[in-house]
């Protein structure tokens, strides 16, 4: 009986995240509560833990249990009628693309993720996390290829009503294409029946925040993200 209760208790507060475990080769969890019982549960297990809390919450107890601040996420939202559409000559998007080219872009296109800034995780593993995520989205047909002058310039990733990722190949950056590609991707998502779109952006990623604001997204909720590591770090395991 005690063993069963212990297992139930674990599942109550620690939600396994197998998509991260495969990248880091250690147990990874999302902590579902910031209450004392949940914080104590993280002290009993080895692994990497993610906890999201209201920014107004006092972090004293989190820090006492070994959590460290990692990021603030801002969640912009856009209604269908508020989307601002931008056009750029010689651009189009398509669900037909060379998958390996997209994977190559995914390996080097992202630097603002919270795992890139987590001092316990090697940058190569943070890159691997994005690559595997994009491979999953490809399998689920949740990607658009972004084309400029008939060349693959990047990709747009989505799920239901959420804009997930915009990856641009290095040679096509800083050419004024991001607004066009993002607005084209949003337009296609609205065609799927969504009346509202949302996304999640690190407060450190000012360029993306400005981009979505320019498209008609309104900044709404904010969430603080804390991490904790007990046991060996991912870089030590590999």
Query: Pairing mode, if any, of strands 47-53 and 28-31?
Result: parallel
Nearest to 155 by CA among 124, 176, 178: 178
Residue found by looking up tokens 């509202």 in the block: 196
pLDDT reported for residue 98 = 96
**pLDDT for 236:** 46
Among candidate residues 7, 82, 8, 18, the one with its CA nearest the CA of residue 47: 18
At residue 5, the pLDDT reads 42
Q: Which residues of 143-158 are buried (b: 16+ CB within 10 A; e: fewer)?
A: bbbbbbeeebbbbbbb
> 11-36 pLDDT, tens per residue?
689 999 999 999 999 999 999 999 99
- Residue pair 220/82 in contact by the 8 Å Cβ criterion: no
> What CA–CA distance (Å, rounded) separates 137 from 97?
13
Q: What is the 3-state secondary structure (H, E, C) of 85-116?
A: CCCCCCEEEECCCCHHHHHHHHHHCCCCCHHH
Q: In whole angstroms, what is the distance from residue 165 CA to residue 62 CA?
A: 30
Q: What is the pLDDT of residue 216?
A: 97
Percent of the chain clearing pLDDT 90 (strictly above):
79
Residue range 172-221, pLDDT digits in tens: 998 889 999 999 999 999 999 999 999 999 998 899 999 999 999 999 89
Mean pLDDT across the stretch 129-154?
A: 95
pLDDT of residue 109: 84
H-helix segments, 28-160 = 36-43, 60-64, 99-108, 114-117, 123-139
Q: What pLDDT, on the 0 to 100 scale, is given for residue 235?
A: 62
């Amino acid at each position: 009986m005690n063993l069963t209760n212990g297992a139930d208790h674990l599942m109550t507060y620690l939600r396994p995240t197998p998509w991260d475990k495969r990248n880091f080769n250690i147990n990874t969890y999302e902590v579902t509560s910031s209450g004392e019982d949940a914080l104590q549960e993280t002290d009993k297990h080895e692994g990497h833990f993610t906890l999201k809390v209201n920014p107004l919450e006092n972090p004293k107890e989190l820090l006492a249990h070994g959590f460290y601040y990692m990021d603030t996420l801002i969640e912009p939202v856009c209604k269908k009628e508020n989307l601002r559409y931008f056009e750029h000559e010689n651009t189009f998007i398509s669900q037909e693309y060379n998958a390996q080219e997209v994977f190559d872009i995914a390996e080097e296109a992202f630097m603002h993720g919270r795992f890139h800034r987590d001092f316990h995780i090697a940058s190569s593993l943070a890159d691997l996390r994005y690559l595997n995520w994009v491979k999953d989205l490809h399998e689920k047909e949740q990607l658009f290829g972004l084309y400029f002058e008939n060349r693959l310039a990047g990709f747009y990733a989505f799920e239901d009503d959420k804009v997930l990722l915009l990856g641009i190949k290095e040679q096509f950056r800083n050419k004024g294409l991001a607004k066009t590609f993002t607005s084209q991707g949003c337009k296609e998502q609205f065609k799927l029946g969504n009346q509202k779109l949302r996304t999640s952006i690190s407060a450190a990623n000012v360029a993306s925040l400005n981009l979505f604001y320019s498209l008609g997204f309104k900044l709404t909720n904010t969430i603080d993200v804390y991490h904790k590591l007990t046991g060996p770090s991912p870089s030590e395991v590999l």
